[in-house]
Amino acid sequence: MALEARTISIPRVLADAPSYRLKQAEDGLFSLTKKSWEEVGVLPKPLRDALTASVPWMSVKLFHVATSAKGDTHKAILELGDGTKIESVLMANKRGWWTICVSSQVGCAMRCTFCATGKMGLTRNLLADEIVDQYRYWASYVHARPEMPQLISNIVFMGMGEPLANYIEVRNANNTILAHTEMGPTNITVSTVGVLPRLEQLLNDPEWPPVRVAVSLHSAIAKTRKEIVPTSYDDFLPKLEEWTHKYFEKFDTRSRHLTFEYVMLGGVNDTTEHAKALAAFVQRCGKVKVNLIPYNFTDSEFLRSTDAHIRSFMDALEAGGVIVTQRKTMGDDIAAACGQLIVEKKESPTV
Ligand code: SAH
């Protein structure tokens, strides 16, 4: 049986019930104290039974969870209804709460040479429910551990997959989360390799929520970008530049920051020449921030730029008038850092 999205199946099951029942049912899914339709006591028993019979309460199931030595990062391998697996990460953030890093696809088709997920290829897109349920999984995880901070304040689409290659489901998931949690759109960041047609689409899509966007640039020199991000369009850089202008024309930059992510690969994209090209590109694009990501080891041959090198690269960018930050590496001891998300085949289920 093909899976049916909850946004369709719940209204179908409740078709003959008064309309307020729909809201009660949807709110029930986000209640931290409930673990099944049976527990949504505000609904009459026949409706609870009907929902139990045809709408799965949860679309992801825990397969394995690991916690970093520092306790600031938790990585879950979650199993989906068809037996495929994804990874999802809970990370302490500097606000003192949690950021979750969600997957948008099983695997990824983009083949970025430095990324572990890129090596898996794409198995399938996630459904919006499977994205939303990563949030629900972590929300109940922290709820069950009162010693942990209780709030998930941010979501980043930086797990497995390319979110803009799964545009509709990612959009629906975001809209559901925004409708049912305290989270605001600027607390959510969708990170993309730069799927240009979809970037264009979101500019004019009234249903695309005003979440933040991060573009994985990785090089402002076309030849280098093509080498490390093989799906890069030949004219990606000028097209992205044009797009950033449209983005800033359309949106208030204070609430919808645009970021370029840049993984620091020793000797590949971290030279003075690259810093100059990046500073010049950012200047042409406008108020884009740059976030440098120290390379996390995967089984590729890249080297992590040294800390001193990252520092001087930052200095060169700052001298060129660029606002630049460096991402803190978290969870690398449990392979939960950026680009390390790949479901290990040898992993055994936890009991
Ligand atoms: N497909 C999305 C999300 C990818 S993961 C995108 O391309 O943006 C989030 C970030 O981690 C991306 O910028 C990605 O390029 C980066 N990344 C991938 N592998 C990495 C690695 N091994 N070390 C550091 N960052 C990596």
Ligand 1 neighbour 10 (Cβ under 6 A) = no
Catalytic residues: 87, 338
Ligand 1 neighbour 263 (Cβ under 6 A) = yes
Ligand 1 neighbour 158 (Cβ under 6 A) = yes
Domains defined for the chain, CATH in brackets: 60-334 (3.20.20.70)
The number of C-alpha atoms within 13 Å of 277 and in the hemisphere containing its C-beta is: 18
Pocket test for ligand 1, best of 100, 102, 106, 112 (most atoms within 8 A of CB): 112
> Cα separation of 78 and 63, whole Å?
5
CA of 122 relative to ligand 1 center, distance in Å: 15
Residue range 299-312, pLDDT digits in tens: 888 999 999 999 99
The DSSP secondary structure of 311-348, one letter per residue, reads HHHHHHHHHTT--EEEPPP--GGGT-STT-----TT--
Residue range 32-91, pLDDT digits in tens: 999 999 999 999 999 999 999 999 999 999 999 999 999 999 999 999 999 999 999 999
The atom number, within ligand 1, closest to the CA of 340 reads 22
Type of residue at 65: V
Entry pTM: 0.94
Segment among 17-26, 84-93, 131-140, 332-341 with least mean pLDDT: 332-341
Place 350 in a pLDDT band, splitting at 50, 70 and 90: very low
Nearest CA to ligand 1 atom 26: 339
pLDDT at 135 over 90: yes
Ligand 1 neighbour 293 (Cβ under 6 A) = yes
> Cα separation of 237 and 138, whole Å?
37
Q: Mean pLDDT in the chain?
A: 93
pLDDT at 346 over 60: no
The atom number, within ligand 1, closest to the CA of 156 reads 9
CA of 52 relative to ligand 1 center, distance in Å: 38
Type of residue at 98: W
Nearest CA to ligand 1 atom 15: 216
CA of 116 relative to ligand 1 center, distance in Å: 9
Tokens of 122: 């794409």
CA of 10 relative to ligand 1 center, distance in Å: 35
Tell me the percentage of the chain whose pLDDT exceeds 90. 86
The atom number, within ligand 1, closest to the CA of 294 reads 24
